[in-house]
Structure 1
């Protein structure tokens, strides 16, 4: 799947004038709209969580700052930790699976996770080394994904599009192409890395975006019994999860909607793809094929 995304980067960037690319952008509109609805039903189903999502949406669209998403999610996480924690004592009575991993491994992994999260932005800001900046951006994006793989879209967009490292059209097209291959949307990072710095960039991007997940996995599992029954941890995750819905809506508006829907025809075709996806339950890969055909026929 990663190899397929690398070839997509080569093909799309070498011939970005092809009309079917507009079809893929329409696919992105439909798929992100579906993701917002699905995540919204699951993660923002109370007045408090809806308000948190709206709060993050407003900040994301009105404040032009590279770290605004991190700041916004930190605020919603703290709010959730205080106000959204589970009040029922039933959670303490749940049977949880015990993971027999050494706690020292957990301490080392979680320490390395936060060390990289703090040090990489500082070091990368002190140098013009593109490879280090890329590693920092992909690592940070991978660290902040909560609530579903689609959240990686606004995080990566915020890191690379405003800086001019990849064009909005190439970014959206690559995201749509990722729907046609099996595996997690994280492989979208391979496409971005390849678009910026060739095969080496694709390899670096893939390693950097997956590394936080592995560090968190080995960092959390030794303490999972305690975390599972911790009401504050649950509230913290609820707050952050609500916030990422707001981030995804912001990315849906800009750059996806703003750069794709420019005419009545665009709106009609994107709406049709959305209906095929949500109501006819067509798989994502078939929506991608339909989008390509639409692009060839109408553009």
Structure 2
């Protein structure tokens, strides 16, 4: 049975390591199908990927796939998108990585840009009951993310304490500086206080990236992280300033797509680029589309004022938030084994992940709760959505649709 399922790939020529190789077009078509059908967030995406590429197509085995997932969860950025980029890179080289990203990302990005046109073009849309329902369901979705991440990333008193202190710091020092300080201090605290067992060595699948190329990509990532914000402070160009916000958000997100919410909110709302109501409405709508949550950047870019806005702004900010993810995963692949073996790095990552829970918990209160919950009916709707997501385990697409309907009825 398994061999018949892999027949379409049997004609691909082997590479130097003996693994099958294909074309970028093949990679694009497979990921385009996933981009239209992968609902449920990054954990669900990784399950879809395993079914498609390990079980059905045999592009790699379970061990190689698990190791790739571990790397992408270790790095900042959107883990499922980075796994997709690496799969495309391993299958069809650099063009394969690009094809995987385009196929998986564009369906949801286009849908959110079109939604942004609706919000921007009709004043009544942003103030409608249905959009208010999207803002309320965002409370439940972020609460679900905090709940799940806290259980897995804060398993002991030290990391729970780091999460709590990070939340307090972010609430006391609003904005990007408070969030960045919480993440850095959480990593430093765990570096010296956390105790973890040493990871055993493991064999790894080869990728067409040399250590020299990897080092260049990591250097480019670091240089852009330093220079683009510096250039934004020296320049009056809104495009450069916006690119700095989205690049920094993509470079500093640990712990999953939901964590991009506070980083982007601190970057685009206080400056007046996007209203807080439109921001939260788009975040709620982003739960109803397939693919990576980072495509929320396309919605925000499409809403931004001239010279951005529309298709140019949406696609530009989409690229800006994903560039660091690509540089990191492609650059880290040749160095992954030595990175994961360092005990100090593992301890610091434990603290960073715990701090991320606190950062997201603070965002659950402000701006998500404070902007969306205005009455007892809103509280009831948020609690009902949370129960359907966490305990009934309903699809987020269904819950988002019901919340929008309920908001419209209540209005």
What residue number does 2:369 align with? 257
CA distance in 2, matches of 1:249, 1:66: 15
Counterpart selection for 1:281 from 393, 403, 409: 393
Match of 1:238 among 322, 325, 350: 350
Residue 62 (structure 1) aligned to one of 172, 181, 197: 172
Q: Indicate whether 1:44 and 2:151 are aligned.
A: no
Q: Which has the larger displacement, 224-233 or 169-178?
A: 224-233
Is the 1:179–1:285 contact (alpha carbons within 8 Å) kept by the matching residues of 2? yes
Normalised to the residue count of structure 1, the TM-score between the two structures is 0.96
- RMSD of the TM alignment (CA)? 1.3
1:11 aligns with 2:140: no
1:94 is aligned to 2:201: yes
Residue 221 (structure 1) aligned to one of 316, 333, 336: 333
What is the TM-score when the length of structure 2 is the normalising length?
A: 0.70
Deviates more, 1:36-45 or 1:60-69: 60-69
Q: Equivalents in 1 of 2:188, 2:206: separation in Å?
A: 28
Q: Which residue number in structure 2 is paired with residue 293 of structure 1?
A: 405
Q: How many corresponding residue pairs?
A: 296
Q: Give per-residue Cα distances to partners, 1:24-65, cap 9 Å, x unaligned.
A: 111101111111100010111111111111111111111134
Spell out, residue by residue over 1:100-131, the C-alpha distance to the aligned partner (whole angstroms, 9 max, x if none).
Answer: 53111111011111101111111100112110
**Alignment partners' CA distance in 1, 2:151 and 2:399:** 23
C-alpha distance in 1, partners of 2:292/2:220? 24
State the distance in 1 between where 2:150 and 2:325 align: 23
* Cα drift, residue 66 of structure 1: 3.4
| Structure 2 residue 53 is the aligned partner of structure 1 residue 53 | no
2:213 corresponds to: 105
Contact 2:138-2:368 within 8 A present in 1 as well = yes
Q: Measure, in 2, the Cα distance between the counterparts of 1:133 and 1:31.
A: 29
Which stretches in structure 1 are left out of the alignment for 5+ residues? none
- Quick check: 1:121–1:136 contact (8 Å CA) kept in 2? yes
Q: Residue deviations 1:235-294, cap 9 Å, x none? A: 121111111111101111011100111111111111111111111111011011101110
SS of 1:182's equivalent? Answer: coil
- Superposition deviation, residue 98 in structure 1: 4.4
After TM superposition, the runs of 4+ consecutive aligned structure 1 residues lying more than 6 A away are: none
Give the greater-gyration-radius structure (CA): 2
Unaligned runs of 5+ in 2: 1-107
Could you tell me which residue of structure 2 aligns to residue 34 of structure 1? 144
Asked if 1:199 is matched to 2:307, the reply is: no
Q: Which residue of 1 aligns with 2:251?
A: 143
